[in-house]
Structure 1
Amino acid sequence: MFLISELGLAGTGLATTAMLVIIVASILNFIWLVIYRLYFSPLAKFPGPRLVAATSWVEFYHNYWRRGQYIYEVEKMHDKYGPIVRASPTLLSIRDRDFYSEVYVIGNKRKTNRDNTFEGLDFDGSHILTIDHDLHRLRRKPMEPFFSRLGVTRLQSAIAAAALQLESRLRELKGTNTVLSLELAFSAFSSDVIRKICLGSSAQPGEGFLDAPDWGVDWYNTVVTLSLSIPLLTAFPWIVKSLTYVPDGILQRCFPDGTMLKSFKAKTREQIRKALNGVQEKDDKEISLFHRLDLDATSESERSEDRLAKEAQTLLAGGTISVAHTIAFAAYYVLSRPAIHQKLTDELRDPMSEWPEKVPTWADLEKLPYLQAVIKEALRLSYGVMRPLPRVSPDEPIQYKDWTIPAGVSVGIAPYFLHNDPEIYPNPKKFLPERWLGDVNPEMHKSLVSFARGSRNCLGINLAYAEISLLLAAIFRPNAPKLELFETDDSDVVRIHDYQIPFPRLESHGVRVMVS
């Protein structure tokens, strides 16, 4: 008994010693990391707050606890330190519209890598979050024909069908006093379009979100939850990967949002299986995007279900929320500003006179100056993305004025800064479509970077413009369903929270309408 007690005490002592060693080692490692970042890092020479240079927890505090407010802290840094600042231990932020094209370059000018900022989202197999320049090009190339101008032109009938179905759903609500969220309705529209691209003929009639009585609210809430969780998930990358192993009952009690994230991953895998189980030939003009990725994969790892599921997650989520939010943003200002509403309706009178028997092409709608002015102003103030999208030059330094940015360093320019530049957009916070009419300052187009630029720009830019143009034309033409705002004001659309996807006040119910 005495021997057992001694062994027990010895074991306890060893465990305590081991724990102390781990704690001391962690403290020493943290101290060394801070010293390295402040004095030896390639970014040590750049201006900015010392605390921000030392730890990423400053950014986490403002984005998680203060709910997407770090972009405004970076703005204050620029006000104090100048056009280039160290915005985190690993990121340089530049506030200079003239340098945008030097950071976001095309592939034949300089290779561009991505950093690992969004590692915690577990989308690392997707083309969007692929770090290496060459691998990114390899993964993106098979998808480009689907989103080119020609590819989107071929898709016009599907976009028109979704717009007409949405209009029919709106007509069903006439006189019922039903309150509808436009973000939800428009997300059903954009989701069905991107599902058609991704699934091809596997997207069966009657299975879309526009067919659902609730407009696919669970899917929309899941994508919103994912967006709002970005600060937490990127700070703790292990969270998403661990969700698979947690029983749903425990997850629901301890981390309710995790249930939605787990469901999101399961739904996208289901979509991949559905597309790949369909029989399609390689030269089939109606081939789905997912099937094309499978056929064109250069290795087994590239065609694995896990990688394709991650591609599906980024395409389905990205194709849902950004477009829907932009259309709802534009719709609010049209509905709340009678003068804008009247001008837009008057311009649409002739082009939409034979709708839906005759559908104007995207090219036709591009020629309507006031419609396009409304769209550009909506893109400017809804941003798409507010914060800097980090880019890395892997092989050669970048020269910015007197500053040499070493190869391998993350650098970005925030669209929020460009879109609110008073020198380019006088009275920048005000929604003024007229600023895009007449003799327009070329710098306005240059500074509108909602879809980014360069070799890693948004793949869906053409699709987004086509969707936004046609749906706004359909719902604001003469004889369209009459929408009336319900308990909605500017605070329900003005973006003040940066969660990668920008949001208005988080207590908002969005842009709500009734059909009269």
Structure 2
Amino acid sequence: MEDYLRKDAGLRAAVAVLSISAVYVLGLVIHRLFFSPIAKFPGPKLAAVTSLYELYYDVIKKGKYLFEIEKMHDKYGPIVRINPYELSIRDPEFYDELYVAGSVRPTDRYEGFVSGVVDFEGSHLATIGHDLHRKRRKPLDPYFSRSGVTRLEPMVAELCEKLIVGRFESFKGTGKVVRLDHAFTAFSGDVISRVCIDDPPDFVDNPEFAPGWFDMFHTGIVSLPLFMGLPWLIHVIRLIPERILVRLDPRSQTFNKFKLMCEGHLGAVKREKAALGSEDTPGTGARLTLFQYLVNSDLPPSELTDERLSKEAQVLIGSGTITTAGTLCFICYYIMANPAIRKRLEEELKGAMEGYPEKKPTWAQLEKLPYMQALIKETLRLSYGTMHRRPRVSPKQPIRFKQWVIPAGVPVGMSAYFQHRDPRIFPRPLEFIPERWLENVTPEMKNNYIPFSKGSRHCLGMNLAYCEINLIISALFRPGGVDFALYETDESNVKPVHDLIVPMPRLDTKGVRVIFH
């Protein structure tokens, strides 16, 4: 009898738990469908009810939700609800209304967008609040401004020469096959590392261009949607002892070395400051690394903790590496795949690159070459910079879009993928046509060219990226340079088909490969 009662009590408890859960889920569904602040906005009901809809397309199908959002806009119109909390807008005229300067309206980052990147929590990129973001970004801006990057240009030019002349031209006549994604990831990693830290790695010197460095980023990018969709998962992984994690995934060791490299430099900078005293600046007359500059800035002590600055270093080095490398691969493919484009570029480079490397043109001089600039713009139009929507939150005031009023606090995102492919603005939008930037460039084309976004949170590294791209492309395709051609590479190796925050081609790609004749 007692056993029966115990079983009966257990059954009743299970039924009670299930009933309460069912009532909770039902209440949540009703709230999201009818009482949410964004319940009135159009979109699929399943997406409004659960984030699992988005998780399926981005995790199971590997970054395909953007294309599902595109279908939603085709069906429901320029504004759609894409998950329980967030709206998407597809309207070329509205971008400048959403992504505004801080003087127009304070803009927060959407917390749900950064909750899965806890390893970067505290960096300017993952800062949610407008005022704190402005405080953290302010000392970074001069370093990455046009004048700041011009001061860095000799270092970028030196690394460019090392890659093109020192490495690529040494392959002349060997028939060696090189993965440009590895080479360019090594180059851009070396550039941003020298900007940030005092004892940088020399990835370009590695015989195979440090494939582990590339693999670390590739693995992280593919994993990112999972951690963004299930942010608690990263906390679980952090509980796993490092020695076990390395056995499970040896690539994690590369990331640990990366973290230690950043932390080691920051420790050295702080010891140097302590030895010199608070009034002295190290290395008078010499170039300060970014973190020497930050540690000696007027940021309050709460913003100069080892943990925060280490995460800032990791964000800057990571974001300054992979996007620039991808852009370089994209432009190189289209130049090599189109003989007429390559020939025209070489003709334009004749005068500017005469005498290279003893005589190097500056970034400013290269910007005066119209066809090369058209190539760069068309590359960034079709490679998007960042393909993913960039959700923004107006924390204090509603935003009006056509007949809709978006409540304060609601995240709203737009994507360069939509802006750059609008046929009303860019005729034949899927074709690589650099000539579109040489004549009849309309104000709408200029306004909707947003590979680095706009507003108070636009891409910090825009000028450095332009400098790197100009110097590499001019040196690589100059007349009389090394003779190389595509090797078993087609458009599928560069065309973005996965939105993993960073646009990615097919995931089984072997990269843009070239053979040196």
Question: TM-score scaled to structure 2, two decimals?
Answer: 0.92
- What is the one-letter code of the residue matched to 2:417? Y
Answering whether residue 214 of structure 2 is matched by residue 213 of structure 1, we say no
Matched residue of 1:142: which SS?
Answer: coil
- Find 2:152's aligned residue among 152, 155, 158: 155
C-alpha distance 52-145 of structure 1, shift in aligned 2 (>3 A):
same
- Paired residue for 1:189? 187
- Paired residue for 1:309? 310
Answering whether residue 255 of structure 2 is matched by residue 273 of structure 1, we say no
C-alpha distance 241-259 of structure 1, shift in aligned 2 (>3 A):
farther
Mapped to 2, the partners of 1:30 and 1:261 lie a distance apart of: 39
Per the TM alignment, residue 419 of structure 1 is displaced from its structure 2 partner at its CA by 0.7
- Find 2:95's aligned residue among 82, 93, 100: 100
- Paired residue for 2:45? 50
Query: Deviation digits for residues 215-261 of structure 1, max 9, x if unmatched?
Result: 22212211111111111111221333343431345335656666665
Answering whether residue 235 of structure 2 is matched by residue 222 of structure 1, we say no
* Residues matched between the structures, number: 505
- Paired residue for 1:381? 382
- Paired residue for 1:119? 115
- What is the one-letter code of the residue matched to 2:194? K
- What is the one-letter code of the residue matched to 2:474? A
In the TM superposition, what are the counterparts of 1:88-487 in structure 2 within 5 Å?
88-116=83-111, 117-122=113-118, 123-167=120-164, 168-199=166-197, 202-203=198-199, 207-252=201-246, 264-278=258-272, 281-282=280-281, 284=284, 286-296=287-297, 298-487=299-488
- Contact 2:388/2:502 (8 A) holds in 1: no
The answer for unaligned runs of 5 or more in structure 2 is none
- Contact 1:114/1:391 (8 A) holds in 2: yes
Mapped to 1, the partners of 2:13 and 2:249 lie a distance apart of: 32
- Contact 2:269/2:295 (8 A) holds in 1: no
C-alpha distance 275-187 of structure 1, shift in aligned 2 (>3 A):
farther
Query: Deviation digits for residues 338-394 of structure 1, max 9, x if unmatched?
Result: 000001011011011122222211111111100100100110111111121000001
Mapped to 2, the partners of 1:496 and 1:369 lie a distance apart of: 30
- Contact 2:216/2:252 (8 A) holds in 1: no
Per the TM alignment, residue 438 of structure 1 is displaced from its structure 2 partner at its CA by 2.1
Per the TM alignment, residue 299 of structure 1 is displaced from its structure 2 partner at its CA by 3.6
Per the TM alignment, residue 13 of structure 1 is displaced from its structure 2 partner at its CA by 9.6
Mapped to 2, the partners of 1:252 and 1:477 lie a distance apart of: 44
Query: Deviation digits for residues 37-65 of structure 1, max 9, x if unmatched?
Result: 11111110100001001111111100111
Matched residue of 1:440: which SS?
Answer: coil
Per the TM alignment, residue 214 of structure 1 is displaced from its structure 2 partner at its CA by 2.9
C-alpha distance 16-512 of structure 1, shift in aligned 2 (>3 A):
farther
Matched residue of 1:350: which SS?
Answer: helix
Mapped to 1, the partners of 2:21 and 2:261 lie a distance apart of: 39
Mapped to 2, the partners of 1:22 and 1:317 lie a distance apart of: 45
C-alpha distance 470-278 of structure 1, shift in aligned 2 (>3 A):
farther
Per the TM alignment, residue 271 of structure 1 is displaced from its structure 2 partner at its CA by 4.5
Per the TM alignment, residue 443 of structure 1 is displaced from its structure 2 partner at its CA by 1.4
C-alpha distance 88-267 of structure 1, shift in aligned 2 (>3 A):
farther
Mapped to 2, the partners of 1:429 and 1:29 lie a distance apart of: 46
Answering whether residue 16 of structure 2 is matched by residue 29 of structure 1, we say no
Question: TM-score scaled to structure 1, two decimals?
Answer: 0.92
Per the TM alignment, residue 301 of structure 1 is displaced from its structure 2 partner at its CA by 3.1
Mapped to 1, the partners of 2:272 and 2:512 lie a distance apart of: 39
Mapped to 2, the partners of 1:90 and 1:56 lie a distance apart of: 9
- What is the one-letter code of the residue matched to 1:150? S
- What is the one-letter code of the residue matched to 2:170? E
Per the TM alignment, residue 97 of structure 1 is displaced from its structure 2 partner at its CA by 0.7
- Contact 1:276/1:290 (8 A) holds in 2: no
Matched residue of 1:85: which SS?
Answer: strand
- Contact 2:212/2:251 (8 A) holds in 1: no
- Contact 1:120/1:234 (8 A) holds in 2: yes
- What is the one-letter code of the residue matched to 1:170? F
Matched residue of 2:108: which SS?
Answer: coil
C-alpha distance 45-192 of structure 1, shift in aligned 2 (>3 A):
same
Which stretch shows the higher mean deviation, 238-247 or 268-277? 268-277
In the TM superposition, what are the counterparts of 1:63-82 in structure 2 within 5 Å?
63-82=58-77
Give % identity.
46
- Contact 1:97/1:418 (8 A) holds in 2: yes
Which stretch shows the higher mean deviation, 377-386 or 169-178? 169-178
- Contact 1:243/1:258 (8 A) holds in 2: no
C-alpha distance 102-253 of structure 1, shift in aligned 2 (>3 A):
same
C-alpha distance 20-316 of structure 1, shift in aligned 2 (>3 A):
farther
Mapped to 1, the partners of 2:371 and 2:346 lie a distance apart of: 10
C-alpha distance 352-277 of structure 1, shift in aligned 2 (>3 A):
farther
Per the TM alignment, residue 297 of structure 1 is displaced from its structure 2 partner at its CA by 5.9
Mapped to 2, the partners of 1:299 and 1:23 lie a distance apart of: 51
- Contact 1:373/1:434 (8 A) holds in 2: yes
